[in-house]
């Protein structure tokens, strides 16, 4: 038994010592490989975010990283300016390298080759450093933006080959007839509009002072917070608009002259005047002239009003509340009578 063991040991030693004996070396393998694409539809433009970890350093002049896409991908018009490369020990994003047409002491060489530019060769800087030396076990990130990065026209799985200074690996990516799902949804249109009080009044008008309409129709000698409010809201993309139509105060054939002009004017007791003033109580909105006067300044414009712009908003999901007041004055010879008018407010959503 001992003799047999010795013979085997001697034979083994002889085999190992034979001149010209052939030893098979296995290339190191890349790990943590992936390619995240922005679109995997046939013939679509797609970006590529390629990641891998290399067991070998790429830190000497002329050492390379080679990315080879399979036939079918098309980068014919792609430029190096749409490619980036970074690496580092932790995330791979620590050191971003400068890419140039050929390697220099501070830049990596970067060049496309092959049919449709499917091969990208990155060559280490001439000093092996660049921004930072690419060390063994570094994580590497190579990105192609979607500019002139065209997917194959046939739907199947494709393999991208990687080689980092002799360490190799393969990434499989699927290309589909259509990788996108069309999702639809509808948001119903909405518009709400309300008036807080539909009946207001001045009471008895006098030449001694201006009168203001109130919600109890008794009127007041001083301006109230409002005679009524207008509330409006909409989800229209460009908001809503309010308009007003109607005539001045009228009694038979007699009228009280409305405050004319494109701008609000001051109230003057003892002269005929009828006007409207509004202010924004809450939310957003712009009040149109001549209804946007400050306290004591009212306007009406050209009577009768025909769909006169009153207020509006310009944004989506607009909501607002307006205080609206009315003022009237009479002259010494204003005809006696019961004066009335009806004003119509209309809200329009701008979808």
Q: How far, in Å, CA of 3 to CA of 9, rounded? A: 10
Q: Is residue 14 one of the residues assigned to a domain? A: no
**Alpha carbon 201 to chain centroid, angstroms:** 50
Q: Is residue 117 one of the residues assigned to a domain? A: yes
Q: Are residues 203 and 344 both part of a single domain?
A: yes
Q: Are residues 197 and 343 both part of a single domain?
A: yes
- For 107, what's the count of Cα atoms within 13 Å in the CB-facing half-sphere? 12
CB atoms within 10 A of CB 188: 5
The CA-based dihedral angle spanning residues 230, 231, 233, 238, taken in that order and rounded to the nearest 10 degrees = 30
Residues 94 and 86: beta-carbon distance below 8 Å: yes
DSSP β-bridge partners for residue 219: none
Q: Are residues 296 and 241 both part of a single domain?
A: yes
Which of the listed residues 145, 175, 205 is the one where a domain comes to its end?
A: 175
Which of the listed residues 105, 140, 175 is the one where a domain comes to its end?
A: 175
Q: Are residues 128 and 206 both part of a single domain?
A: no
> Structure pTM?
0.63
Range of the domain at 63: 28-175
Q: How far, in Å, CA of 213 to CA of 303, rounded? A: 19
Q: Is residue 4 one of the residues assigned to a domain? A: no
Q: Return the ∠ at Cα 172 (arms to 169 and 177), rounded to 5°.
A: 160
List CB contacts of 317: < 8 A, sequence separation 6 or more.
233, 234, 235
Q: Is residue 2 one of the residues assigned to a domain? A: no
Residues 117 and 76: beta-carbon distance below 8 Å: yes
User: How many angstroms separate the Cα of 316 from the Cα of each of 64, 208, 345?
Assistant: 55, 47, 21
Q: Are residues 117 and 220 both part of a single domain?
A: no
What is the predicted pLDDT for the residue at 25?
A: 47
Tens of pLDDT along the chain (351 residues)? 434 433 333 333 333 334 444 434 457 999 999 999 999 999 999 999 999 999 999 999 999 999 999 999 999 999 999 999 999 999 999 999 999 999 999 999 999 999 999 999 999 999 999 999 999 999 999 999 999 999 999 999 999 999 999 999 999 999 999 999 999 999 999 999 999 999 999 999 999 999 999 999 999 999 999 999 999 999 999 999 999 999 999 999 999 999 999 999 999 999 999 999 999 999 999 999 999 999 999 999 999 999 999 999 998 767 899 999 999 999 999 999 999 999 999 999 998
- In eight-state DSSP terms, residue 259 is P
Helix or strand (DSSP H, E) at 16: helix 2-17
Q: Are residues 340 and 210 both part of a single domain?
A: yes
CATH number at residue 165: 2.60.40
- In eight-state DSSP terms, residue 134 is B
Total domains in the chain come to 2
Which of the listed residues 128, 146, 175 is the one where a domain comes to its end?
A: 175
What is the predicted pLDDT for the residue at 26?
A: 55
Q: Are residues 86 and 164 both part of a single domain?
A: yes
DSSP β-bridge partners for residue 148: none
Q: Are residues 244 and 270 both part of a single domain?
A: yes
Q: Is residue 7 one of the residues assigned to a domain? A: no
């Amino acid at each position: 038994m001992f003799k047999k063991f010795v013979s085997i040991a001697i034979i083994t030693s002889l085999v190992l010592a034979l001149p010209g004996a052939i030893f098979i070396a296995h290339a190191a393998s890349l790990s943590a490989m992936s390619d995240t694409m922005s679109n995997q539809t046939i013939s679509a433009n797609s970006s590529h975010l390629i990641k891998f970890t290399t067991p070998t350093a790429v830190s000497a002049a002329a050492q390379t990283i080679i990315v080879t896409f399979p036939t079918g991908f098309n980068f014919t018009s792609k430029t190096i300016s749409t490619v980036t490369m970074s690496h580092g020990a932790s995330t791979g994003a620590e050191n971003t390298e400068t890419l140039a047409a050929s390697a220099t002491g501070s830049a990596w060489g970067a060049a496309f080759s092959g049919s449709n530019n499917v091969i990208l060769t990155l060559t280490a800087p001439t000093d092996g450093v660049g921004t930072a030396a690419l060390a063994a076990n570094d994580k590497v990130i190579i990105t192609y933006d979607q500019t002139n990065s065209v997917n194959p026209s046939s739907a199947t799985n494709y393999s991208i080959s990687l080689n980092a200074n002799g360490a190799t690996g393969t990434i499989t990516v699927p290309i589909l007839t259509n990788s996108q799902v069309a999702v639809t949804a509808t948001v119903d249109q909405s518009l709400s509009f309300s008036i807080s009080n539909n009946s207001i009044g001045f009471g008895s008008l006098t030449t001694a002072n201006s009168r203001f309409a109130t919600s109890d129709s008794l009127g007041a000698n001083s301006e109230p917070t409002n005679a009524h409010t207008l509330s409006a809201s909409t989800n229209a993309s460009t908001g809503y608009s309010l308009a007003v139509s109607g005539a001045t105060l009228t009694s038979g054939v007699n009228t009280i002259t409305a405050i004319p002009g494109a701008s609000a004017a001051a109230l003057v007791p003892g002269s005929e005047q009828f006007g409207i003033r509004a202010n924004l109580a809450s939310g957003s909105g712009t009040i149109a002239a001549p209804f946007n006067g400050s306290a004591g300044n009212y306007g009406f414009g050209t009577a009768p009003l025909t769909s006169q712009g009153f207020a509006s908003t310009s944004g989506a999901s607009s909501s607002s509340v307006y205080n609206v007041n009315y003022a009237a004055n009479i002259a010494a010879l204003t005809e006696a009578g019961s004066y009335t008018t009806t004003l119509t407010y209309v809200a329009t959503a701008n979808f």
